[in-house]
Amino acid sequence: MLRNVLLAGGVVGVVVGIALLVAGQYDPGLHMLLGSGVLTVGVGFERWRYVRSLTSPEGRWQRTGERFVDPTTYQLTDVYYNPDTGERDYRPAEEDDRRRLEP
């Protein structure tokens, strides 16, 4: 939610900066364009960079005993750990009585 608000604010700022430059207001237009551009690129990079991806599904995955309800899918989730790589993986619980919980 916050990510979308920041992205929308950055895009609006870029448009306002361009409009100020076209109107001849070079100093505030340049500052608005650069600041908003950095915000927009930063939020876009964060969305692209921090996406969960399991690099090696094979290996010695061990269940840690940790469980939680995933706030995005409302599914009960088990946590697995690979001692060889130190990676953690979050998988839907297999014996889940509550597949979909409504908030």
Q: What is the dihedral of CA 78, 81, 86, 90, to 10 degrees?
A: -20
Contact 38, 15 (CB under 8 A): no
Contacts of 103 (CB under 8 A, 6+ apart): 74
The pTM for the full model equals: 0.50
Q: Where are the domains of the chain?
A: 2-49, 62-92
Structural contact between residues 87 and 69, judged by C-beta atoms closer than 8 angstroms: no
How do the pLDDT tens digits run along the chain, 103 residues long? 788 899 999 999 999 999 999 999 999 999 999 999 999 999 888 877 665 655 556 778 898 989 999 888 888 989 999 898 888 888 888 775 554 555 5
